[in-house]
Amino acid sequence: MLIDAHCHLDDERLIGDEEQVLQKAKEYGVELMVTIGTDEKTSAAAAKIAYRHPGRVFHTIGAHPSDVDRFGESELAEIERLARETHPKAIGEIGLDYYHASDRQKQTAVFERMIRLARGLSLPIVIHDRDAHEDTYRILSDKAMGMKIMMHCYSAGPAFVDRFTELGCLFSIAGPVTFKNGQEHRDAVAKIPMNRLVVETDSPYLTPHPYRGQRNEPAYVKLTAEKIAEVKGVNLEELAQVTTQNARNFFKI
Ligand code: NI
């Protein structure tokens, strides 16, 4: 059995097709999934999807760094209310994104505010780090010591594995590890300890090989898991068992 630790089931490419998406996931052995909030709207939608599928779909409440330019006090207060009232399994995705042009100071302020929210609620955090590895590491080591941290779609390569491991992070690996040009991701996976590995799709984005270019969905986490098993030199069953247990412990599911 596999867990897709990070998907966006509220996305319009998936939501209209919800029952079929869940059915196909089951056929691929993906029994559990965590649907991720990115702002006040997608977080509310994620909570509703989780309520429709108790014990099967779980949700988080987040404030995505590339959306910060439109976050005012009322949006952030609404995200905090959803975090207190909908029983999420984590706060995220939150973090830094220097690929998109949104204001970096505001990204930092929102990131730190969301870490405080998670700490206050004793929840783990799911981190988005795109082209911002040094600053993400610095803020986490400054503000999130002792917390449970998952690096979503880990992309900082083998060079950062030791530092994020020392912080206690889990590494969530997505479709790019299967890409022809994904060698850096495979080198990172080779270095990550088994007890820190988790698998995700980030669907509908980042579709694994050989479906790259099509819509991604939780079923395809199996393709990513197969590639990781190959890199680690274990069979798929062992990889599934370990990553499922790691994700269960992290989210308490
Ligand atoms: Ni995501």
Least confident of 13-17, 89-93, 216-220, 232-236: 13-17
How far is ligand 1, taken at its centre, from the CA of residue 16, in Å?
Answer: 19
How far is ligand 1, taken at its centre, from the CA of residue 202, in Å?
Answer: 5
How far is ligand 1, taken at its centre, from the CA of residue 163, in Å?
Answer: 23
- Note the pLDDT of residue 10: 97
User: Which residues, including other chains, have CB under 8 Å from residue 166's CB and lie 6 or more apart?
Assistant: none
pLDDT reading at 101 higher than 90:
no
Task: Tell me the pLDDT tens digit for each residue of 42-61.
Answer: 999 999 999 999 999 999 99
Q: What does the mean pLDDT of the chain come to?
A: 97
pTM of the model: 0.97
Task: Please answer whether residues 26 and 1 qualify as being in contact, where contact means their C-beta atoms are separated by less than 8 angstroms.
Answer: no
Average pLDDT estimate for 27-37: 97
- Amino acid 252 reads K
How far is ligand 1, taken at its centre, from the CA of residue 8, in Å?
Answer: 7
Task: Tell me the pLDDT tens digit for each residue of 143-188.
Answer: 999 999 999 999 999 999 999 999 999 999 999 999 999 999 999 9
How far is ligand 1, taken at its centre, from the CA of residue 52, in Å?
Answer: 21
Q: How far is CA 142 from CA 39, 57, 146, 212, in A?
A: 24, 32, 11, 37
User: Which residues, including other chains, have CB under 8 Å from residue 100's CB and lie 6 or more apart?
Assistant: 65, 66, 130
Report the alpha-carbon distance of residue 9 to residue 18 in Å, rounded.
8
pLDDT reading at 16 higher than 90:
no
How far is ligand 1, taken at its centre, from the CA of residue 166, in Å?
Answer: 24
- Note the pLDDT of residue 177: 98
- Note the pLDDT of residue 172: 98
How far is ligand 1, taken at its centre, from the CA of residue 93, in Å?
Answer: 7
How far is ligand 1, taken at its centre, from the CA of residue 6, in Å?
Answer: 6
* DSSP class of 51: H
How far is ligand 1, taken at its centre, from the CA of residue 247, in Å?
Answer: 16
Domains annotated on the chain, with CATH: 2-251 (3.20.20.140)
Q: Give SS3 for 2.
A: strand
How far is ligand 1, taken at its centre, from the CA of residue 107, in Å?
Answer: 16
pLDDT reading at 207 higher than 90:
yes
How far is ligand 1, taken at its centre, from the CA of residue 73, in Å?
Answer: 23
Average pLDDT estimate for 29-44: 98
Average pLDDT estimate for 8-24: 94
